[in-house]
Amino acid sequence: MDLSFSKEEQAFQDEVQAFLATALPADIAARVASGQGATRDDMERWHGILHTKGWLGGTWPTKHGGAGWGPIQLHIFEEESALANAPRILPFGLKMLAPVLMEFGSPEQQAEYLPRILDGRDWWCQGYSEPGAGSDLASLKTRADRATDGHADGHADGGPDGGAGSDGDEYGDHYIVNGQKTWTTLGQYANRIFCLVRTRFDGKPQAGISFLLIDLDTPGIEMRPIRLIEGGYEVNEVFFTDVRVPVSNLVGDENEGWSIAKFLLGHERTNIAGTGFSVQALEQVKALARQVKRGGKPLIQNPLFAARLAQTEAELEAMKITNLRMLSKAATGGQLGGEPSMLKIKGTVIRQSLNDLARRALGPAAAPFPSEDLDNLAIAPPGHGHNAAGYFNNRKISIYGGSNEIQRNILAKGMLRR
């Protein structure tokens, strides 16, 4: 057994480190490190820098303008990026939609959208969840009815089990979309949304879902912000009222949307454990615990706190190896089973414990509601004024992307015989 990277992989790691050391703007890294988070402009700037380098579509095939990385290279890039406090690459266009278009999209769709994702002309958001369809995504209700001009046949007369698509020769040239999506991350900056919509109302719910690309400038769309627990805005509700979408925006076949969503779930889950984020968070907590005091001594010398820290570190070291074992399997063409679900659960729990320690370490200094006015008061050591906010916000990571309960259900289904 050999736990180290190959010579080529090590060379790549060096290259990534050298690149990050010079190319990542210091102001962006500072905002990421402080937990305040990258701004819209930061994300766009960083995407631009990576695009120029040719690394934005790291795992994209070269024919689509990508770097053609395998899972290990992607892992190295993502780890090093997290350690350097680079903003994470926004997944919606680059890692979710792009692979779907490459697999299911028409040549026209690929030619139109892939370059726009890479050069930043399009900012995509993900429209899957609905108020009534969270964990049970297949119960989604947003509907897309085929219509010809001046005649929205499905919507007007179709009941819940009537509707468009049932009637082959009535196909129109566009869809009329009605319904609501929610939890749409960074929708406020997006110009396009990819949606799962219902196009058939009989049969199994999974069998009536289609994958639709929608321009957010289309009349009839309203985006409303949702404020999160710590006070920030990163998610939205999106309302669709008689929104006209060309049929050419359908990806794959009508009613094939569920297979597409499942394909996506199985795709690029290497960073699901977020080990880079955790390693970085651990280092920050250690540094913080050397700065702040309890009983006149640095907190890191406090046995109770040190125990919590050391336990979390041991967990993290184990998970890094679990993660590499999965990567190595994926890189050699092995079929992944429950590993991604396990890593999602363990990875989120470890990240959340580190957020907990970062908040806890501050003592009373964690209490102020973060604001720029307070930064110069230095109540918390520099870069730690958002620790409590970050802790609360990161409760999301065990909920979204398939909650940890749903991941356990998936694992149980795979491992337990009934």
Partner 1 sequence: MNFEITDDRRMLAETLQRFLADTYPFEHRTAVAYDAPFHDPAKWAELADLGIFYALVTEEQGGMGGRGFDIVTLFEELGRALCPEPILGQLLAASLLNAPEPLMDGTRYALAVSELDAPYDPDDITTTADERDGWRLTGRKTVVYGAPAAEVLLVAAKGPDQVLSLFRVAAKDAEIIGYAMIDGGPAGEVFLEDTPAKLVTKDAGPALQNALDLGALALCAEALGAMEVVQATLIDYLSTRKQFGQPIGAFQVLQHRTIDLAIEIEQARSIVILAASAEGGSEFPKRAAQAKHLVGKIARQVSEEVIQMHGGIGLTWEYPLSHYAKRLVMIDHQLGDTDHHLERLMDGL
Contact between 274 and 259 (Cβ < 8 Å): no
Taking CB under 6 A as the binding criterion, the range among 215-223, 266-274, 317-325, 393-401 that sits at the site for ligand FAD is 393-401
Placement of tokens 């490190």 in the chain: 33
Does residue 396 bind ligand FAD (CB under 6 A)? Answer: yes
Placement of tokens 């992607």 in the chain: 74
Contact between 309 and 286 (Cβ < 8 Å): yes
Tell me which of ligand FAD, partner 1, none is bound by residue 366, counting a contact when its beta carbon lies within the kind-specific cut-off of 5 to 8 angstroms.
Answer: partner 1
Tell me which of ligand FAD, partner 1, none is bound by residue 126, counting a contact when its beta carbon lies within the kind-specific cut-off of 5 to 8 angstroms.
Answer: ligand FAD
Q: How far is the CB of 73 from partner 1 (least distance, A)?
A: 33
Residue 273 has what DSSP assignment?
Answer: G
Contact between 92 and 264 (Cβ < 8 Å): no
Q: How far is the CB of 96 from ligand FAD (least distance, A)?
A: 9
Task: Return the number of the residue (307 or 321) whose C-beta is nearest partner 1.
Answer: 307
**Is 339 one of the annotated active-site residues of the chain?**
no
- State the Cα angle at 358 between 46 and 398, rounded to 5°: 70
Taking CB under 8 A as the binding criterion, the range among 86-94, 114-122, 168-176, 355-363 that sits at the site for partner 1 is 355-363
Near ligand FAD by CB under 6 A: residue from 135, 248, 301, 311: 135
Q: Classify burial at 320, counting beta carbons within 10 Å of its beta carbon; exposed 0-12, middle 13-18, buried 19 or more.
A: middle
Tell me the one-letter amino acid at 324. Answer: L
Q: How far is the CB of 279 from partner 1 (least distance, A)?
A: 23
Residue nearest to ligand FAD as judged by C-beta position: 134
Round to whole Å and give the CA distance between 337 and 134: 23
Dihedral of alpha carbons 185, 190, 193, 194, sign: negative
Does residue 115 bind partner 1 (CB under 8 A)? Answer: no
Does residue 408 bind partner 1 (CB under 8 A)? Answer: yes
User: Phi/psi of residue 417, each to 5°?
Assistant: -85, 140
Tell me which of partner 1, ligand FAD, none is bound by residue 295, counting a contact when its beta carbon lies within the kind-specific cut-off of 5 to 8 angstroms.
Answer: partner 1
Task: Return the number of the residue (280 or 394) whose C-beta is nearest partner 1.
Answer: 394
For 220-229, the CB contacts below 8 A with 24+ separation are 220/177, 220/244, 223/184, 223/187, 223/188, 225/188, 226/182, 226/183, 228/393, 228/396, 229/392, 229/393, 229/395
Of 79, 80, 130, 268, the active-site residue reads 268
CA gyration radius, the chain: 23
Does residue 11 bind partner 1 (CB under 8 A)? Answer: no
Q: Which one, of 357, 322, 342, 347, lies nearest residue 415 by Cα?
A: 342
Round to whole Å and give the CA distance between 59 and 70: 6
Tell me the one-letter amino acid at 185. Answer: T
Taking CB under 6 A as the binding criterion, the range among 12-20, 40-48, 178-186, 347-355 that sits at the site for ligand FAD is 178-186
Spell out the residues 6+ positions from residue 240 whose beta carbon is closer than 8 angstroms to its own.
142, 177, 178, 179, 180, 181, 214, 220, 221
Q: Classify burial at 347, counting beta carbons within 10 Å of its beta carbon; exposed 0-12, middle 13-18, buried 19 or more.
A: buried
Does residue 45 bind partner 1 (CB under 8 A)? Answer: no
Q: How far is the CB of 240 from ligand FAD (least distance, A)?
A: 14
Taking CB under 6 A as the binding criterion, the range among 53-61, 124-132, 237-245, 367-375 that sits at the site for ligand FAD is 124-132
Does residue 161 bind partner 1 (CB under 8 A)? Answer: no
Near ligand FAD by CB under 6 A: residue from 218, 291, 322, 409: 409
Binders in 216-245 for ligand FAD, by CB under 6 A: 235
Taking CB under 6 A as the binding criterion, the range among 11-19, 105-113, 152-160, 404-412 that sits at the site for ligand FAD is 404-412
How many residues sit close enough to ligand FAD to count as binding (CB under 6 A)? 17
Contact between 29 and 85 (Cβ < 8 Å): yes
Active site residues: 268
Residue numbers at the binding site for ligand FAD (CB under 6 A) = 126-129, 134-135, 183-185, 235, 396, 399-400, 403, 405-406, 409
Residue numbers at the binding site for partner 1 (CB under 8 A) = 129, 132, 134-136, 139, 182-183, 226-231, 235, 292-296, 302, 304-305, 352, 356, 359-360, 362-371, 373-374, 377, 379, 388-389, 391-393, 395-396, 398-400, 403-405, 408
